[in-house]
Amino acid sequence: MEITNTPDQENNQSQAPSNNTNTVINQEALPNSTAILVLGIASIVTCCCYGLPGIVCGIICLIMVKNANELNNLNPDKYTESSQKNLNAGKICGIIGLILSILYFLYNIVIIGFYGATMISDPGMYY
């Protein structure tokens, strides 16, 4: 006696693995995760431009990270792992860029203040 599968059983067996892949296929990227990463990198790169562009990029990056984290905390299974990694990398780059930009901005203020005070005390020295 041979046991054969009916067409209904074959269809049920072929559909079972597809249910697991649907959850992966339906995942989407976090909104603005790539933009957050770009802004974080831009805040590091532009920190040497007197600090102001780096401060602006870093602040915008961290605001966007806050909004994306709120979405991710509501439903973490909805978003892809790569977009979550982009979010974390952008957050780290944004924090580093913001700190470097603030330090460079403060350094420029001290240097400008020092040379301004030097010019006031002896203006003939620079003519």
Task: Please give the pLDDT value at position 25.
Answer: 67
Read off the pLDDT band of 26 (50, 70, 90).
confident
Token pair of 97, please? 């860029």
- The three-point CA angle 108-113-114 to 5° equals 100
Token pair of 32, please? 């603005």
In whole angstroms, give the CA distance from residue 43 to residue 90: 10
In whole angstroms, give the CA distance from residue 73 to residue 84: 11
Q: CA of 86: how far to CAs of 44, 61, 81, in Å?
A: 16, 12, 9
State pTM to two decimals. 0.73
Token pair of 105, please? 């901005």
Q: Does residue 3 sit in helix, strand or coil?
A: coil
Task: Give the closest residue to 68 by CA, choosing from 89, 53, 41, 54.
Answer: 89
Read off the pLDDT of residues 42-87 as tens digits, 9 standing for 90 and up: 999 999 999 999 999 999 999 999 999 999 999 889 999 999 999 9
Q: Is the pLDDT of residue 15 over 80?
A: no
Q: Does residue 104 sit in helix, strand or coil?
A: helix
